[in-house]
Structures are given as C-alpha cells and as structure tokens.
Chain A
Amino acid sequence: MNPDGEAPEGPGEAAPRLFHSVKLDPDKCVGCTTCIKKCPTEAIRVRKGRARIIDERCIDCGECIRTCPHGAKKAVSDPLSMIAGYRHTIALPAPSLYAQFDERWSIDRLLSGLLALGFDEVFEVAEAAELVTARSRGLFEAGPAADLPKPLISSACPAVVKLVQVRYPSLISHLAPLLPPVEVAARIAKHVLHAGEEGVGVFLVSPCAGKVTAARSPVGYARSALDGVIGIKDLYLPLRAVLGQAGDRIRSRAGRRGVEWARTEGEADALGERRSISVDGIASVIGVLEALENGKLKDVAYIEALACPAGCVGGPLTVENPYIARNRLRNRAEALPENAPPLSYEPPSDLGWSEAVAPRSALALDPDMLKAMIMMEEMDQLAAALPGLDCGSCGAPSCQALAEDVVRGVAVETDCVFKLRESVRELAGRLLALEELKPPGLDKD
C-alpha cells in the first residue's frame, strides 16, 4: 500500500491497479481530516494538503462522499450520453429511483420518462430482485446449500462484500453465493430478452458508487453484463423535466417484494425468514460483523447488511433524503401486488457465483509473519510514545494508524505535531547548551 497513491516499488508488488469509482476532486479538497476518520477501512490519508485513497483498502462504500464537507469526494459514473453508442439501449432502474420522486408520479410514468430520455426499453431491477429472493430461499432448504455456514450474509451490497474481503476474511464463507439483483437484471435484459443480438447496451440507473465498481471489476463472477452505470443524481433533472409529458402507460411489472429491496428490511421481509436481521450504515454493519466473528449470532439465519443509511435509498448517488425516500418507497410498495406477474421469459438457470471470493489482505503488515511481528513490536512502541489524541493532524486517522504507516515506511514519527514539537524543544535545548560552550581561547575563567 502507498498513501501517496503511487505504484508500489518493491519486487513482486506490482499488483494490478484496482478500479475504484470513488475519486477525489483535488480542487475542492482542503486537506481537512473529516474523511480519514470516517473511513471504515482506514483507506484515506491526507498528504500534501490533499486526501489520498489507498486503493487496496477502499471498498467503494461512499462514506467519504457522504461525510466530506467540501464535496470533494465523488463517485465516477457514466454519462447519459454514453447510450448513443448502442443500437438498442435498455435502462435498468434500481428501485431506489422510484423513491426519489413524489408519489404523484407513478412508477409507470417514471419508466416512460426513461424512454423519453432516449432509452429503447426498460427492465426493472426490482423484478430481478424477486428472482434473487427465490434463490436465497433455496439456500435454506435441504441440498448442497445446507452445508453453507449460517448465518448467511446477503451479498447484494457490493460495499459489504468488499468490507468482508478486507476486514472480515474469516466470514467470506458466510456470504450468500448469489449474483446481486443488478447483475441478474443485466443478464436477463441482455442474454435472455435480447440473446444473440448485436449492439445491445444495458445501463443501470444506480443509487451507489459500489455498483459502478461492481460493473467493472465484479466480485464472485468474472464479467458483468452491464455496459454502463448512470448515477441517479445525474439523471434526476433530465428525468424530472420529461415526466410531465411521459404518460402513464403500464410498463412496471415488479411487485412489492422486489421494490422494497431498496430500503433496509426489504430484502429480509421478502425472504420471509424469521431469524433474519437487517442492518444499515457501515458503522452498524461493522458492529454486526464483529459480533458474528465473535460467535455471538448463533440464533440468526440471515443478515441483510447495507452500507448506506436506510438502505439503497440512502446511496451517495441519490438526491432525496434517505428517510423521506424510504417512506415514499413504502407508500409506493403498498399499492403494488406482492410479486411480479408470471414471467414471459426463461430466467437464467444459474444465479450463483462463478468465481471464488478471495480475502483482500490489505491489513497485514507483511506476508512473512516473522517480519510482521518485528514490525508490530516497533509499531507498538511507536504507538505508545504517541499522544493518543487521534487528532488526525498527521494525515492518518489515529495515532495507531500513524504508527502503522511509520513501520510501513510511508510516514515518519515527526509527522505527529506533538512529536515534532518535542523534537524542536529538544533541539532548542541542545542549541542553548552549545551556546554556553566557548572555545578555550575565549574562555576568560
């Protein structure tokens, strides 16, 4: 790792660069320490007055986007203009989109609005979510899935999957080995409804940065069927502008169960497993994963864990307040039938992961345990000598993190302002002592 964001230099360390959708706008960043404190994987350092993201640790949760007071963190998503490059374009609206608009605009009208923006077709992610729910139920039935460790952790939130990889590798086996609804929707739209056709483009209308990353470098499957991911906030105003003329022709198919996936408890309610717990907000998710790792959640069968407050409706690419959005979603869902009408197509038979999910050991000090132990001892001594205020002035989130950066060779002890002051004082004392000394020839005594 390298907080300066430069490629590592050591031999054998030339790991492929990880794609991340969370980026910094250097013109807006003032080098304050708000984001470094909130990052759940301690993936940010302030260097030379700017925040730097450590790629190996970033899980694209968007917490820094949410907390930056200067709007300097952003999620890079694709522009709407991108759809011009395809013969036939399909919009995949995440159900959180429906919660951005007042209920007087029907879901049908929102979908028609997407067509008015230039898409040729829409396919609701919520419809795919219902299929994922059906497969998730299968994980609790007798059969090969009976061997899966319980509780299972939903793998629908890409930030949670990555959090497990980076911070809770012992829990990887608990992740439900299923494709997320967005990917299922993309595969149905592209490989089922338009199988074998050329020039078909499939675009997610997304509430979050994590799904942008998942489209480019997915976890659990090799390649995404998505061709682009457009942020809800980039589409909001153009979509709002066309709603007046869009009409209410019936286009929506998804039922209440699928639509409610966009809010916390929606997935668990749809699953209908009574021993499920639902948790949202990255700090609360961490609390639950810690408890699980301590063996405390013995009576829990399923964990719906979502990185954003109130669930996907609280995603960093949304525009409405998460709690208002959640209320709207609930109201909209109440008017819907429980499930989508019978499918007119044959869904993909395999919605399971095709690749093993590996730990991302970004936290180990060194691959060689003996070396790591030596570094750890040095780090403990350094940390004990630091003031323990966790002030962040050094650019690291805590004194412990600075000690770690020092032993990793990417920071020095005097990055700590208190240590620097100590050194200056010591130096001043030595200067005074030197000043007292006189060459023997000048010494009158």
Chain B
Amino acid sequence: MKYRYAVPGDDFSMAGKASAEVKRILGQLGIDPAIIKRTSVAMYEAEINMAIHAGGGIAEAEISPERILITMADEGPGIPDIELAMTEGYSTAPEWIRELGFGAGMGLPNMKRNADEFRLESAVGKGTTVTMLIRLAPAPVAGGGGRA
C-alpha cells in the first residue's frame, strides 16, 4: 500500500497533516502503538523540516506487513554539510521558527533515532530526500543480507 501527500511550503500551520493521516491509517491497520508513535514522530519532524527549509515537498508512505517506508523528497536548497546537519543541536532555522518551538536542531537526529534505517541524500541547489524504514516484523537474521 502506498500513500502520497503534497506537503505545502507556504503554510506551515498545515504541516503535520501527512503524518497525522499516516498515523490514522496505521491505527486502523492495528499496528503496535509504540511503532505508530515512532513513525509519526519521525515523519512529523521530516514534514516540519520540509515546510521550514525546503518550501514543501512530497511525502510518501509505503506500508507492507514487514515494514513502513517513509520517503520525504523536496526540491529545496539542499544540505551542504550532512554530518554537521546531523549533529544534535545544530540548526539553521531562523529565530522566529525557534520561538515557535521548532528548529532546536533535534529534527534530523530525532528522525534517525526513531527509524530502524535512515538515509539522507542531499545535493545543494537540487534538494533533499530522507528515507526512513520502520520494521514491523523482526529483522532478518544476519547473513540474510536483509536490505530493504
């Protein structure tokens, strides 16, 4: 099952709709509440990032009995130094965003922490794609090479 949502870049009060929708779907699928929470935290952070830094983008959620795969793709400014961006507390968000309780520099680390697998691809001037995988079934045993 695949769901696709446009995340608006001009109205950030609307950011969070996609993750809320995915949360509803996961609830109706009867998925473990703890996993739903991890998914919604990770996806919500990514959605907010898109709205703040990238002028919106596309959020996709692919759900199978084994895993939830969230892909967040934007055509924003891109991240010049990914390692720096992944540092807890590092933020390029403007002051007013911080005053709203966002932009504490915990977004990317938080996504990574809540996902079982996390990938960040970015090219300056082209955009950023964050891919997050959350496993539903136990991970395949070593040697199986279980890459999603």
Contacts of B45 in A (CB 8 A): 295
Pick the interface stretch among A65-73, A207-215, A370-378.
A370-378
B29 touches A170 (CB 8 A): no
Quick one: closest B residue to A375, CB to CB?
B28
Given contacts A170-B37, A369-B65, A370-B65, contact A293 B31 (CB under 8 A): no
Q: Is residue A338 within 8 Å, beta carbon to beta carbon, of the partner chain?
A: no
Q: Measured between C-beta atoms, what is the minimum distance from B66 to chain A in Å?
A: 10
A367 touches B30 (CB 8 A): yes
A372 touches B110 (CB 8 A): no
Expressed in whole angstroms, the Cα–Cα distance for A220 and B27 within the complex equals: 23
Given contacts A296-B101, A373-B63, A373-B65, contact A364 B27 (CB under 8 A): yes
Contacts of B16 in A (CB 8 A): 290, 294
A294 touches B40 (CB 8 A): yes
Quick one: closest A residue to B30, CB to CB?
A364
Q: Is residue B148 within 8 Å, beta carbon to beta carbon, of the partner chain?
A: no
Q: Measured between C-beta atoms, what is the minimum distance from B91 to chain A in Å?
A: 14
Contacts of A363 in B (CB 8 A): 27-28
Contacts of A171 in B (CB 8 A): 37
Contacts of A294 in B (CB 8 A): 16, 19, 40-41, 44
From B28, B34, B104, give the contact of A365 (CB < 8 A). Answer: B28
Q: Is residue B33 within 8 Å, beta carbon to beta carbon, of the partner chain?
A: yes
Q: Measured between C-beta atoms, what is the minimum distance from B12 to chain A in Å?
A: 13
Q: Is residue A361 within 8 Å, beta carbon to beta carbon, of the partner chain?
A: yes
Contacts of A169 in B (CB 8 A): 33
Quick one: closest A residue to B16, CB to CB?
A294
Expressed in whole angstroms, the Cα–Cα distance for A373 and B3 within the complex equals: 13
Expressed in whole angstroms, the Cα–Cα distance for A13 and B122 within the complex equals: 50
B44 touches A295 (CB 8 A): yes
Per-residue CB contact flags for chain A residues 292-313 toward chain B (1 = under 8 Å, else 0) read 0111101100000000000000
Q: Measured between C-beta atoms, what is the minimum distance from B148 to chain A in Å?
A: 18
- Between A and B, how many residue pairs show CB distances below 8 Å? 62
B34 touches A373 (CB 8 A): no
Q: Is residue B132 within 8 Å, beta carbon to beta carbon, of the partner chain?
A: no
Interface residues of B in 23-52 (CB under 8 A from A): 23, 25, 27-31, 33-34, 36-37, 40-41, 44-45
Q: Measured between C-beta atoms, what is the minimum distance from B60 to chain A in Å?
A: 15
Expressed in whole angstroms, the Cα–Cα distance for A368 and B65 within the complex equals: 10
How many residues of B are in contact with the other chain, CB < 8 A?
25
Q: Is residue A366 within 8 Å, beta carbon to beta carbon, of the partner chain?
A: yes
Given contacts A293-B23, A294-B16, A294-B19, contact A376 B41 (CB under 8 A): no
Q: Is residue A404 within 8 Å, beta carbon to beta carbon, of the partner chain?
A: yes
Contacts of A347 in B (CB 8 A): none
Contacts of A373 in B (CB 8 A): 1, 29, 63, 65
Q: Is residue A247 within 8 Å, beta carbon to beta carbon, of the partner chain?
A: no
Contacts of B63 in A (CB 8 A): 373
Expressed in whole angstroms, the Cα–Cα distance for A293 and B44 within the complex equals: 10
Q: Is residue A118 within 8 Å, beta carbon to beta carbon, of the partner chain?
A: no
Contacts of B65 in A (CB 8 A): 369-370, 373
Expressed in whole angstroms, the Cα–Cα distance for A366 and B16 within the complex equals: 26
Contacts of A295 in B (CB 8 A): 40-41, 44-45, 110
Expressed in whole angstroms, the Cα–Cα distance for A370 and B110 within the complex equals: 30
Contacts of A364 in B (CB 8 A): 27-30
Q: Measured between C-beta atoms, what is the minimum distance from A37 to chain B in Å?
A: 17
Q: Measured between C-beta atoms, what is the minimum distance from A262 to chain B in Å?
A: 30
Contacts of A365 in B (CB 8 A): 28-30
Contacts of B31 in A (CB 8 A): 369
Quick one: closest B residue to A290, CB to CB?
B20
Q: Which residues of B contact A (CB under 8 A)?
A: 1, 16, 19-20, 23, 25, 27-31, 33-34, 36-37, 40-41, 44-45, 63, 65, 101, 104, 110, 136
A-B contact pairs, 19 of them (CB 8 A): A170-B33, A290-B20, A293-B37, A294-B40, A294-B41, A294-B44, A295-B40, A295-B110, A364-B27, A366-B30, A367-B30, A369-B29, A369-B30, A369-B31, A372-B29, A373-B65, A376-B25, A376-B28, A377-B1
Q: Which residues of A contact B (CB under 8 A)?
A: 167, 169-172, 290, 293-296, 298-299, 359, 361, 363-370, 372-373, 376-377, 380, 404
Known: A294-B16, A296-B101, A365-B28. 7 other contacts (CB 8 A): A295-B45, A298-B104, A364-B28, A364-B29, A369-B29, A373-B29, A376-B1
Q: Which 10 A-B pairs have the closest CB atoms?
A: A364-B30, A170-B33, A170-B37, A169-B33, A295-B41, A294-B44, A372-B29, A365-B28, A363-B27, A372-B30
